[in-house]
Structures are given as C-alpha cells and as structure tokens.
Amino acid sequence: MIDFGIKDVIDILLVALLLYNIYKLMRDSGSLNVFYGILVFIIMWIIVSQVLEMKLLGSIFDKLVSVGVLALIILFQEDIRRFFLTLGSNNRFYSFLKLFSRKNMESQEENPAIMQIVRACDYMSKNFVGALIIIRQEMSLIDIENTGETIDANINAQLIKNIFFKNSPLHDGAMIIDNNRITSAACILPVSHNTNIPKELGLRHRAALGITQQSDAVAIIVSEETGQITMSRRGEFKRNISTEELERYLSTIMK
C-alpha cells in the first residue's frame, strides 16, 4: 500500500511551483525550447534510473546531470541572477507595512511629481514625441543609471519635455526617476528577446519590457509613431492608456 500523506502533497506543490517559476524565467528570456528539452531529459533520466533501473545508462545520465547543471548555470547566469534578485526584492511585505504608514493615509496630499509626469506624457502623446521613463521601485538601477548622463533634478514637466525633444542630445535612451527625482537620462536598457512582442512595437517598447523583466521597475513609453502611452511592469504591457489611468497608477507607486 502506498503511504501518501500531507508531506507528499506539499512536496509535489513545491516542485510544481519551482517548475512554474523556471518556466516563467526561461519564457521571458526567450529560451522556452531549452526548458522543454530539460524537462524531457529529466523525465527520461527518472524513467531510466528509477523505473527501469538500467545501471549503465543510468550512470551516464547521472554524470550528464551533474555536468549539465553547471553548464546551465554558466549559460543562464544573467537569468538566474535576475530570478534571485526578484525573489530577494519581493516588496509585498513592504507594501503591506506601507498600508499602515502615515504617508500612505488617505489624508495625504498627492505627490506633486505625479502631475508633472502626467502633463509631460500628455504633451508628448499629443505631439508624437517618443519617450521612455523608468521609475525605480525596490531594486537598485545604479548600473543602468551609470550608462547615461547624470541629471539629478526635481521632476518637472518642462524638463521632461526638453529631454525628449527630438533634437535634444538626450532624447535617445531612457530617463530614470528615483525617489521622486530625475537622476539620469539617455540610459541604455537591456532589450527583451521575447518573441511574443507585437511587431508594431519598436525598440523603446522592447527596452521597457527588458528592464521590467529584469527588475521591479515601472516603465512608461510614449510612442513616436502613434502617440499612445503604454506602461510596462513585471514583463507585461498595458497599452494605450489614458492620462487619467496613468495618474491613478502612478499614485499607487509614487509616494
């Protein structure tokens, strides 16, 4: 008789959770076929070693697994690093604590920087000026900031419009906002290799998706071709949002 208890259920659930997170990690990095290959190999290894108990072939599979794990770590070191950074910077606990802090009480006045960003995005949207604004959350973006030009200024709609003006030397690249200040502009972002991105979306959108896949930052994109405002967070897009939606969303992430 098979002894199957609550501990086995928890074990299965944890393995399923682990596989799901690995699946998401490799899907976002464009390596989904590798995930399927690894899954097939693991199933074959279990069948050969545990079910059929083939000693010679099983020992070969054992050696391949030990070497393969090291090879995968080397091959996907950036993706693994991003996974643990995301895991370590999970801000749900902090968000829970913030619910009880004074600065997030309903009586608090809205952050004035929010309207400055909304006004700038509204102007750029109507005038088809391309823009890419990254708002830091819990995870540091210092490496990204160092790729651009230091600004270190208060958030101002006119300054944002001037930076992304078509003839401005800083209009290419991303603007970084950290702790309610514009810290740098013309920053270089990692480009997402996700093959599911709609073809009509350009490099700004791919860069926005790339940084939100690798960090907990929020990206605002204004399309130069259509004027549409798009937001990206956690590797997902919310397209063609209104300025009212943008303002409401920013009020939840900028305090």
Q: What is the rounded end-to-end Cα distance, in angstroms, of the chain?
A: 58
Contact (Cβ atoms closer than 8 angstroms) between residue 29 and residue 196: no
pLDDT tens-digit map of 84-136: 665 555 444 444 444 444 444 443 456 889 999 999 999 999 999 999 999 99
Q: Which of 114-118, 161-165, 201-205, 244-248 has the weakest average pLDDT? A: 201-205
Higher pLDDT, 47 or 183: 183
Residue 90 amino acid letter: N
Helix axes 243-253, 112-126, angle to 10 degrees: 150
Q: What angle do CA 226, 249, 131 make, to 5 degrees?
A: 35
Beta bridge partners of 237: 232
* Average confidence score pLDDT of the chain: 80
pLDDT at 109: 55
Burial of 243 (0-12, 13-18, 19+ CB in 10 A): middle
pLDDT at 2: 57
Which ranges constitute the DSSP H helices of 29-76? 32-46, 55-75
> Which of 81, 79, 77, 78 lies closest to 89 in space, CA to CA?
81
- Separation between Cα atoms, residue 211 and residue 218, nearest integer Å: 8
> Which of 71, 70, 86, 91 lies closest to 22 in space, CA to CA?
86
- Separation between Cα atoms, residue 215 and residue 138, nearest integer Å: 9
Q: In terms of C-beta distances under 8 Å and separation of at least 24 residues, what long-range contacts does 194-202 make, across chains too?
A: 194/27, 194/28, 194/30, 194/235, 195/30, 201/237
Read off the pLDDT of each residue in 131-160 and give the average, rounded to a whole number: 92
pLDDT at 215: 87
- Separation between Cα atoms, residue 119 and residue 21, nearest integer Å: 38
pLDDT tens-digit map of 235-249: 888 999 999 999 999
